[in-house]
Structure 1
Amino acid sequence: MAVVTNQAAGQGNATVPGAGGVLDPRMSLALNVHTCPGVYAVLLGAGISMASGIKTGWGIVQDLVSKVAVLHDPDRPDAGAEAAADPEDWWQEQFGEELGYSRLLAEAAPTSAARQGLLAGYFEPENVEDTGKEPTAAHRAIARLVKRGNIRVILTTNFDRLMERALEEVGISPHVVRDHMIDSMKPLVHSQITIIKLHGDYADLEQRNTVDELEEYPSAQQALLERVLDEYGLIVCGWSADWDKALVKAVEGTRSRRYPMYWGQFGRMSEPAQRLVAQHSAAVIDGVTADDLFTDLEHRVEALDRMTVAPVTRDTAVAQLKRFLPDPVRRIEIRDLIEQSVSLIVSNAGQDRYPLTGNVFAQSIRRYRADCDTLLHLLANGVFHDDGTYNELWQRVVERLNRLRNRNINGHTEDLERLRQYPALLATFTMGITAVLSRREEFLARILTQPLWTPPFSSNQRQTPAVYLNPLRILYGSINEVCSPEGGGSYYYPQSHWIRDELREPFLPVEPDDDAYQAAFHRFEFLASLIAMDSEQEFHANPWSGEFLLENWWGYDDVGLAPDIAREINESWPLLQAGAFGGEVQRAEKALEALVEFRSRNPRW
């Protein structure tokens, strides 16, 4: 199967022959990907990276030509802009030959090492504040499909590392292969995901850029490519087929495919691409960008998951989880239990049930807690009895719940929009308290630093859970409507008090003692606050202000949470061993000092 999306901006639609049918090709694509997990490979071209701010080959040509023009006529301020406006005419006029990406790059940087230095600036962020050149929605959707097991092989002509970064965001370390590594590579069937970089990496001295380099592949790479094209379904995105002669030949030489071909299209399709579509009788998915294609595919696959997994009651789900955990053969059943519970929350989270305007804060916060009930019981029991085998699964819960806040919305009030992350906050609190109770606090380093997330209405850099799930950010504005003492007044820390009470019931099977539960709750708040204070950006360094700051929990006379944790901080401390605070004792101690200072500036005891 092949799906190709050409994202050439500014080009008109083209009519391409394709296989017709009653079923929408997007539906057929999702059905096949869901039914045959691991059978489909992805081929990524430059088009998928356009939304990240990384230039296509033509964008690099325009930029390089403008630089050549400035060097050619350094005294003319407009020389670069004029050349970039029509690079082909300028090049023809100046040098008497046709302009091409390969020729220009070969002239500007005649060796591999020179090309490496020349290209690096086009693919790497300029500085730590640069929020561009990040993985796109398409990269991240593909990464999540990989994590689900739907995709196991990625072919790419791109020099960038956006796909690798998107996979790392969801906790996957990809097996990356270039031509000189093929003889010693891990077999495809033994790898969770293999990325085959057909043209190398921008930091690789063996990049392929010029016409000669793209004319044919080394024999080992050609054999591997032919094997993938023969044995796997193929989802191709952002590849124009204009420059990569060897790759075009490989696709043309593929025998009658084992699976149908789908061709996603946005803008004008090149002639070589049209020939491939016609040759393989591709069904055309018209007018879709890479982001549209892959986010839609993921959404439809998740919908099929919800249909194929029958719902179970909360108590039955918990009983099944406890029965499955000791059995390594039941990993899929455990995953299905958790994924189904998350999917039910996601499917219920529309604006019809959770309006984003009006006086509905109290209604919404109670509905979220009810919708999360089964999941919270599963997390409390699952994390408590797990030995670390399923850490990635627990982390994925937060990844999926975070998407509730990434959805497009038309109008909202801030307190209701932020509340969409309340399920992710409840899940993180549940896992954190359980980690304290089960004495594996090293897990806290993971759930409070991963997954990273970018606020939907901000250009800020990606944030850690210790920052973006701060309860004061999520339970914003109207918390006193639902949490206040009987007889009037208000709590010092209503967010902390509310969450502690709301989560007590799921913990009864694993910790029936109220005092022990409260102690674990406050210790988790304290440790989460420490990790939050460990931030280079001062406006992110805010504690999870909670009742642990009150004197009866914080402590005095060298007894209590603060002095206990101060004594624990050393090189063997589990949080440091797991990578929190960069593994540095000094950073942990500095975070504790900052928390102590915050408390002294904000006395409420």
Structure 2
Amino acid sequence: MIEPIHSLAFSMQANRGVYAVLFGSGLSRSARIPTGWEITLDLVRRLATVSGEECGVDPSAWYRDKFNKEPDYSELLDALAKTPAERQQLLRQYWEPTEQEKEEGAKQPTPAHRAIADLVAKGFVRVIVTTNFDRLMELALLDVGVTPTVLSSSDHVHGAMPLIHTQCCVFKVHGDYLDTRIRNTPEELSGYPAEFDTLLDRIFDEFGLIVCGWSADWDEALRCAIFRAPSRRFATYWAVRGEPGDAARQLIEHRGAQVVSITDADSFFSTIHRQVEALEEFARPHPLSTAAAVTALKRYMSEPRYRIQHADLVEGEVEHVLSEIGIDKFPVQGGPPPDAAQFNHRVKAYEAAMTTLVAMAIEAGRWANDDHQEVWVRALQKLASGQAQDGGYALWGELTRFPATLLLFALGVSALESTRYSFVQRLLSAPIVREYQKTKQTVHLLPPKCLFEKDSSAKLLEGKENHYAPLSDWLHERLAPQLERRFSSVKAYELAFDRFELMLALAYSANTEVGEYFRYWAPPGAFGYRDENQAQIISSLRSQLAKEGDNSPLVTSNLFGVTADECRKQLDALEEFIPKLKWW
């Protein structure tokens, strides 16, 4: 019998973004933020103190004797603080850490909060519903570079973007402790504003549900919202310590939920996070298969008699990549409009499919002779051409060229460092024939700044929202594990990466006519803000041209000019252009 938690991990990994998380006070227990019952007992102690009495070790017994009924959090709070503003001031001490608590690490995001935040950052979770007033979830999300859309009042919900357009929505159905409109009393918890009900109906209908740390005992309006949900298109998983209460059991039966027995919220979400990551890693090509492909490639490049085997190996891997990223799996038409979560999901899927081909390309950049180079040029052309599908979302169509950009950098950085200028020129000047569109050279289609029509598209990349050259930085980071070991230091790799991007800019301008109505432009990259690298690279190119003149490989390869003088003019134009880039 498969454990429910294993089923959940499989389902989350296979269905990115379809699960919403619903949690209550149990999630913040290890942060030493008290539960509603613990706050109730503390309020009883305070009531006893102001009454001049001692409640002893059992405040609830004192309350029963005093008032002839069980202490109730909501009723007690309503009696002690008559207005929402008074309740807010009374309660905030329970959520804001003192200096000593900060030193002890109390009232800070828990491992559960951080596991959920990382699942959000990686696109597995998009919606979080919570009855908690604290801000631990928001803090955990900010720590992983996610700025959530937080909804805690009717006006927030009314003006919110649709869920499909947000990377993460945190819906605080009882409010935020810094807002006087928090909901505590039975009357306040008996019903939600119409805007809340409408959004909850959508969430519980359209998303699967992971419930943890919520007893369901006190929240009548939230229970009603779950009972109203007509659909169970995705499963519900309900994590409990011990046995669920009557209210929770009714919801579990109604929703057909899978019950997951847990020791605590931290271990539950940490386990899910670990298992989902393991499944993601499993989905990537096995390192041994990649290593075997690289070993075979080196052998085939070592002797002319293996020319056919080399071509078959490369072309076979290209076909494998295309089968993994084809429009049948990642269509450009239909479905909801692209958002950050979907964008990053596709990027990572493309990268996973390209793992072996990129490793092979790094070796080919160093060692490929003329015959081998032709095979790699064809591979680049095939990837850049994509799989034609007329119409659809422009962003998805543009993103289909991303694997070709990844391949271009794997080949180009390595080839340029090995002074294979002619190979680089062949890669950059290769014509890309695209159905329904004009044929262009790779240098006009594949540089990071040329990949997307809108500059904002690349800023959808996780953690790159505020970067000057987001896609350049992304490529630099993604290729580092395989390319860095080819260089003497991390700095040497960075310099080689910037050198290739600068060469892309020079080749672009050299192959682009500047007429009466068109000003000079070249695709900028990370070299634009790494001033020291930029100056060093340009100085090196000028020295090489001055020393070797028209005999320089820079000239004989026709990489960015057919004479040394023409190459110098291109360098002059680029140096004049870079300071004008306003987006730096």
With the shorter chain as reference, the TM-score category is 0.5 to 0.7
- Give 3-state SS (helix, strand or coil) of 2:196's partner: helix
User: Is residue 37 from structure 1 mapped to residue 12 from structure 2 by the alignment?
Assistant: no
Match of 2:69 among 97, 118, 125: 97
Kept after mapping to 2: 8 A contact 1:377/1:507? no
Partner of 2:184: 209
Mapping for residues 166-205 of structure 1, pairs under 5 Å: 166-181=140-155, 182-205=157-180
User: Is residue 280 from structure 1 mapped to residue 255 from structure 2 by the alignment?
Assistant: yes
Deviations 1:372-399 (A, max 9, x none): xx9x989x99xx9678965785759xxx
Partner of 1:581: none
Partner of 1:469: none
Deviation at 1:332, TM superposition (A): 4.8
- Give 3-state SS (helix, strand or coil) of 1:195's partner: strand
Deviation at 1:72, TM superposition (A): 2.1
User: Is residue 111 from structure 1 mapped to residue 83 from structure 2 by the alignment?
Assistant: yes
Letter in 1 for 2:76: L
Partner of 1:227: 202
TM-score by length of 2: 0.54
Match of 2:129 among 140, 155, 161: 155
Provide the C-alpha distance between the structure 1 equivalents of 2:178 and 2:7, rounded to a whole number of angstroms.
38
Provide the C-alpha distance between the structure 1 equivalents of 2:110 and 2:353, rounded to a whole number of angstroms.
26
Kept after mapping to 1: 8 A contact 2:12/2:276? yes
Partner of 1:270: 245
Partner of 1:50: 29
Mapping for residues 286-297 of structure 1, pairs under 5 Å: 286-297=261-272
Match of 2:214 among 222, 233, 239: 239
- Give 3-state SS (helix, strand or coil) of 2:285's partner: coil
Partner of 2:559: none
Partner of 2:348: 335
Deviations 1:51-94 (A, max 9, x none): 11111101111222222222222xx8xx4xx54x3121111223
Partner of 1:61: 40
Provide the C-alpha distance between the structure 1 equivalents of 2:502 and 2:193, rounded to a whole number of angstroms.
61
Partner of 1:26: 5
Deviations 1:96-134 (A, max 9, x none): 333110111111111100011111111112239443211
User: Is residue 70 from structure 1 mapped to residue 10 from structure 2 by the alignment?
Assistant: no
Letter in 2 for 1:148: K
Provide the C-alpha distance between the structure 2 equivalents of 1:282 and 1:333, rounded to a whole number of angstroms.
30
Mapping for residues 478-557 of structure 1, pairs under 5 Å: none
Letter in 2 for 1:45: G
Kept after mapping to 2: 8 A contact 1:377/1:506? no
Provide the C-alpha distance between the structure 2 equivalents of 1:24 and 1:214, rounded to a whole number of angstroms.
35
Kept after mapping to 2: 8 A contact 1:25/1:283? yes
**What runs of 5+ residues in structure 2 fail to find an aligned partner?**
298-313, 326-331, 333-342, 356-406, 415-446, 450-454, 475-487, 504-528, 534-578
- Give 3-state SS (helix, strand or coil) of 1:204's partner: coil
Partner of 1:415: none
TM-score by length of 1: 0.52
- Give 3-state SS (helix, strand or coil) of 1:32's partner: helix
Deviations 1:537-565 (A, max 9, x none): xxxxxxxxxxxxxxxxxxxxxxxxxxxxx
- Bigger CA drift: 147-156 or 175-184? 175-184
Change beyond 3 A, Cα 1:257–1:200? same
Change beyond 3 A, Cα 1:50–1:390? farther
The structure with the greater share of residues assigned to helix is 2
Kept after mapping to 1: 8 A contact 2:284/2:352? no
User: Is residue 87 from structure 1 mapped to residue 66 from structure 2 by the alignment?
Assistant: no
Letter in 2 for 1:203: L
Identity, in percent, stands at 36
Deviations 1:142-178 (A, max 9, x none): 1111122222211111111111111111111111113
Kept after mapping to 2: 8 A contact 1:500/1:521? no
- Give 3-state SS (helix, strand or coil) of 2:259's partner: strand
Kept after mapping to 2: 8 A contact 1:335/1:393? no
Deviations 1:466-501 (A, max 9, x none): xxxxxxxxxxxxxxxxxxxxxxxxxxxxxxx98668
User: Is residue 132 from structure 1 mapped to residue 106 from structure 2 by the alignment?
Assistant: yes
Partner of 2:570: none
Partner of 2:224: 249
- Give 3-state SS (helix, strand or coil) of 2:211's partner: strand
**What runs of 5+ residues in structure 1 fail to find an aligned partner?**
1-21, 343-373, 397-434, 447-496, 513-519, 525-571, 579-605
RMSD across aligned C-alpha pairs, in angstroms?
A: 5.1
Match of 1:304 among 279, 294, 299: 279
Change beyond 3 A, Cα 1:115–1:331? closer
Work out the number of aligned pairs and report it: 381
Partner of 2:95: 123
Provide the C-alpha distance between the structure 2 equivalents of 1:259 and 1:504, rounded to a whole number of angstroms.
48
Match of 1:145 among 93, 103, 119: 119
Change beyond 3 A, Cα 1:377–1:143? farther
Kept after mapping to 2: 8 A contact 1:45/1:239? yes
Change beyond 3 A, Cα 1:339–1:298? farther
- Bigger CA drift: 298-307 or 57-66? 298-307
Change beyond 3 A, Cα 1:111–1:501? same
Provide the C-alpha distance between the structure 2 equivalents of 1:307 and 1:58, rounded to a whole number of angstroms.
43
- Give 3-state SS (helix, strand or coil) of 2:99's partner: coil
Deviation at 1:211, TM superposition (A): 1.0
Deviation at 1:244, TM superposition (A): 0.6
Deviation at 1:505, TM superposition (A): 8.1
Letter in 1 for 2:154: H
Provide the C-alpha distance between the structure 2 equivalents of 1:394 and 1:165, rounded to a whole number of angstroms.
17
Letter in 2 for 1:191: T
Change beyond 3 A, Cα 1:392–1:167? farther
Provide the C-alpha distance between the structure 1 equivalents of 2:221 and 2:6, rounded to a whole number of angstroms.
32
Change beyond 3 A, Cα 1:249–1:331? closer
Change beyond 3 A, Cα 1:216–1:340? same
Deviation at 1:218, TM superposition (A): 2.0
Kept after mapping to 1: 8 A contact 2:26/2:35? yes
Deviation at 1:199, TM superposition (A): 0.8
Deviation at 1:261, TM superposition (A): 2.7
